[in-house]
Structure 1
Amino acid sequence: MWKLLKEDIDVVFEQDPAARSYLEVVLTYSGLHAIWGHRLAHFFFKKKLFFIARAISQISRFFTGIEIHPGAVIGRRLFIDHGMGVVIGETCEIGDDVTLYQGVTLGGTGKERGKRHPTLGDHVLVATGAKVLGSITVGENSKVGAGSVVLKDVPPNSTVVGIPGKVVIQDGVKVRKPDLNHQNMPDPVMDKCEGMEMKIAALQRELDQLKQAEERQKEGKPL
């Protein structure tokens, strides 16, 4: 248990350059408190003491702003950064070395029974405000861009951006650990807009050429 608690603290220092001391991390990091509260709640959940488990999870939610259902299965070294508004559903399964940012939802899509929440592989990063919904799998070493809505399975070593989320393969390069520079992810919506602007500019040039030809024709000048 002590080894697991130390891992939870150490990953904060690895991922957050603002962390200065063990005392600061232990006393002030709400993401860490939420993870520890979940580990306790999950213990009672596995013992089928569901009311105690939910009570602990709700107390943790009240103090941290992070809601983790006690039934969720969470791996080692989960890092929740600025975690206000993070929601993790009952049947979620989260691998090792996963990073979640503020406002992330790992939720369901309706009232279905059974496995209805996402599974995240090892070394996955889900950026600010992203929503991963339904019984889908996000493969290991993948990243979900800020504000994305993911409704389909994501293959390993991929990047997902947009609404609905679209997979962008990063030259086949495998991401071995979460990359905090998630603001540099590709933007397929912007790519589409830029492509439309180029087509509009080309059409405008053709239109100008036709107008010039028409004017020359009216003036009796050779085309």
Structure 2
Amino acid sequence: MSNRDYSLSDVVALLVESGDNASTFYRYSDDVPMPSVEVLSEIVEDLRTVLFPGYYGPSEITPDTMPYYIGSTLDRVERHLADQINRGYCFVCDKNKVDRCQDCETRSRNMARAFITKLPEIRELLLSDVEAAYDGDPAAKTHGETIFCYPSIRTMTNHRIAHELYKLGVDIIPRIIGEMAHSDTGIDIHPGATIGRSFFMDHGTGTVIGETCVIGDNVRVYQGVTLGAKSFPKGDDERLIKGLPRHPLVEDDVIIYAGATILGRVTIGKGAVIGGNVWITRDVPAGAQIVQSRAMQQSFSDGGGI
């Protein structure tokens, strides 16, 4: 039968038949809806208005009205987030064929409240990121410009929200929030990555930071930087072993220029400068400067670097 001979009923029958034995083809649950990307997007935007009031949300907020606005917004966020956390938890339970948790709604409400209590800490970290962006880019005329315009701040807002949810053990929701920023900015940060204060991604497009990466304070990276894994060990069943530390450790005050690729559980020492387009799979000492110079690469490799 050629393609032109297919009727609509033929196409439907073939699609159903081909999916009968494929667990990834569709997800069925008669009483548990999926997490909603649309609702999660609204939650993140509400949180953005709380973390940066006036820049996002109503611009006419005053010091007198701010407590009421923030309070009502967080009340809505907490309720909606608890529902999404519950949906994400049930999504994973169904996938793993685990018995339903009898107190999953209570668990989800507790997680949402625990997350809300972390918002002052998230705000403090984001303000340090804003300061780093303003200080690190001569083109930035005001701090507000970095909040409103810079992909680094937009991405880090999503990431710091997602990372707190990840630490609380929330299923799938942190990854969705991280992928929202990825779609918006081209910056891909796994919610498991631990990132210190005053972090700035200049331009940022194409930057990738893996799940088990740990980044210190006052670190700056440029576009196209990869902090990734070098190898993926397999278990006896030939499947990849999940959760192993496999991404770089970047210590305080490091600068990584555009296009650099750093792979594996290596340490980039404090104050090191990594030049553009270099490939690193071994530890870099504190204060080292690694550039694309044949003489410097040979000198450094003799000491155990690149």
Q: TM-score, normalised by structure 2?
A: 0.53
| Amino acid paired to 2:227 | L
Measure, in 2, the Cα distance between the counterparts of 1:168 and 1:15.
30
Pairs aligned (count)? 169
How far does the alpha carbon of each residue in 1:32-61 deviate from its partner, in whole angstroms, 9 at most, with x for none? 111111100101111111300100000110
CA shift, 1:160, in A, is 1.6
Q: Select the residue among 181, 190, 194 that pairs with 1:73.
A: 194
Residue of structure 2 in register with 1:34 after alignment: 155
Report what 1:209 is aligned to: none
Assess if the C-alpha contact under 8 Å between 1:149 and 1:162 holds in 2. no
| Higher mean displacement: 61-70 or 17-26 | 17-26
Percent identity between the aligned chains? 39
Pairing of 1:10-159 with structure 2 (within 5 A): 10-112=131-233, 113=241, 114-159=244-289
Aligned partners of 1:46, 1:67: CA distance in 2, in Å? 18
**Greater C-alpha radius of gyration:** 1
SS for the counterpart of 1:50 is coil
Paired with 2:130 and 2:146, the residues of 1 have a C-alpha distance of: 7
- Tell me how far apart the structure 2 counterparts of residues 60 and 66 of structure 1 sit (CA, whole Å): 7
2: CA distance between counterparts of 1:78 and 1:7?
8
Whether the aligned pair in 2 keeps the contact of 1:37 and 1:57 (CA below 8 Å) is yes
1:213 alignment counterpart: none
State whether residues 88 and 106 of structure 1, in contact with CA within 8 Å, keep that contact through their aligned partners in structure 2: yes
> 1:106-139 CA distances to partner (integer Å, 9 max, x unpaired)?
0001213411000000000100000000010000
Distance (whole Å) between structure 1 residues aligned to residue 254 and residue 298 of structure 2: 14
Q: Distance in 1 between matches of 2:177 and 2:293?
A: 34
Give the counterpart letter for 2:184 in structure 1. F
Contact 2:291 2:297 in 1 (8 A): yes
Instruction: Provide the secondary structure at the position in 2 that maps to 1:48.
Output: coil
- Counterpart of 2:17? none
Higher helix share: 2
Q: Runs of 5+ in structure 1 lacking a partner?
A: 170-223
Name stretches of at least 5 consecutive residues in structure 2 with no aligned partner. Answer: 1-119, 234-240, 301-306
Q: What's the RMSD between the two structures over aligned residues?
A: 1.9
Tell me which amino acid in the other structure corresponds to 2:290: V
Deviations 1:138-194 (A, max 9, x none): 00000111000001001111012349993867xxxxxxxxxxxxxxxxxxxxxxxxx
1:21 CA drift (Å): 2.1
- TM-superposed CA distance for 1:87, in Å, is 0.1
Which amino acid is the alignment partner of residue 4 of structure 1?
A: L
| Contact map agreement 2:199 2:217 (CA 8 A) in 1 | yes
Which residue is equivalent to 1:176? none
Deviation of 1:19 (Å): 0.5
Task: Tell me how far apart the structure 2 counterparts of residues 17 and 3 of structure 1 sit (CA, whole Å).
Answer: 23
Contact 1:41 1:53 in 2 (8 A): yes
Q: Secondary structure at the match of 1:166?
A: helix
Structure with the higher fraction of residues in strand conformation: 1
Could you give the per-residue CA deviations for residues 82-107 of structure 1, whole angstroms, max 9, x where no partner exists? 00000000000000000000000000
